[in-house]
Amino acid sequence: MSENLPGGTLTLAHDLTITRMGFGAMQLAGPGVFGPPKDRDQALAVLREAVERGITHIDTSDFYGPFVVNELIKEALHPYPADLRIVTKVGARRGADGSWNPSHEPEDLKAQVRENLQRLALDAIDVVNLRLSEEGTGEESIAEQFGALAELQKEGLIRHLGLSAASAAQLTEAQAIAPVVTVQNLYNLANRQDDALVDRCAAENIAYAAFFPLGGFTPLQSETLTNVAARLDATPQQVALAWLLQRSATTVLIPGTSSLSHLRENIAAASLVLPADALAELDTIGR
């Protein structure tokens, strides 16, 4: 079914093809991405419908919950469809109070990968992203941490590697160690600081996965966006997602939701083609 998904697919390596419209599983956990979902049955239904509607790209992590989201994915979808690609990330652990605590020691990164494998019931993970500190300057070396994941790739536990919250310099450093198939950074209509990196990823056939494509915990608010959406008979959220898909050939989306109606709305955005005048108007938001 994936070839019929309006967002199309993206092939990043000989064995890695994903739908450009993915599903971010973070919001399946409880408030603050902590604890169990308020409606477990609906969370399972959202995962199943995402796959039934052709999505082959699910983004997750063991620190969502923690553990809760990966356990839901396993319950809902295992044994996994042959074309489903699961992308996870390592580099943090959660405190008992729900805090997000960076954890980048090489041996703990390896332990986190093995924990993801166990909870997802996988022999190998399609993509593991190294999540870097969002408080960093982007100048810190990541050779030791990325090298640890590259070792697991050589062992066959990871198929492909990526980065999250990374700078252009860190991408270059990682590429000298092992191929990078995805960069997952904050980017949306109103947050355009990664414009140059989006273009670089397109030129190098690296998936640029825009996280918080709708603004995250502070949803996008724009009169221009609202007006364009009204003209196109779409929601502002759909227009914001469609803009990202048209932004570059390798942009991929991982919007998250715990609602079936929102899931359907997000998927419908993949078939929304924005005309040139709408793109020009929208472009002014982040400039």
Q: What residue ranges define each of the domains in the chain, with the CATH number in brackets?
A: 2-286 (3.20.20.100)
Q: What is the DSSP letter of 34?
A: B
Looking at 64, 80, 187, 208, which residue is catalytic? 64
DSSP 178-246: S-EEEEEEE-BTTB-TTHHHHHHHHHTT-EEEEESTT-TTS----HHHHHHHHHTTS-HHHHHHHHHHH
Per-residue model confidence (pLDDT) at position 3: 44
Residue 64: active-site member: yes
70 and 60 Cβ atoms separated by less than 8 Å: yes
Per-residue model confidence (pLDDT) at position 1: 38
Structure tokens, 70: 């990966």
Question: CA 182 to CA 206: how far, in whole Å?
Answer: 5
Per-residue model confidence (pLDDT) at position 4: 58
| CA distances (Å), origin 95, targets 34, 65, 99, 135, 182 | 10, 11, 5, 18, 28
Question: CA 274 to CA 89: how far, in whole Å?
Answer: 32
Per-residue model confidence (pLDDT) at position 215: 83
| CA distances (Å), origin 50, targets 71, 157, 178, 240 | 17, 26, 31, 20
What's the pTM? 0.95
Give the CA count within 13 Å in the CB-facing half-sphere of 159: 18
Instruction: For the chain, list residues with pLDDT below 70.
Output: 1-6, 217
- pLDDT digit string (tens) for 64-100? 999 999 999 999 999 999 999 999 999 999 999 999 9
* Strand 9-13 versus strand 100-102 pairing type: unpaired
Buried b (16+ CB within 10 A) or exposed e, 100-137: beebbeeeebbebbebbbebbebeebbbbbbbbeeeee
Structure tokens, 235: 């929601």
What is the residue whose two structure tokens read 């919001």? 27
Judged on CB neighbours under 10 Å (0-12, 13-18, 19+), 21 is buried
Structure tokens, 192: 């355009």
Structure tokens, 103: 């954890």
Structure tokens, 95: 């405190």
Nearest CA to 89 out of 128, 147, 121, 58 is that of 128
Provide the residue type at 251 as one letter.
T
Per-residue model confidence (pLDDT) at position 167: 97
262 and 256 Cβ atoms separated by less than 8 Å: no
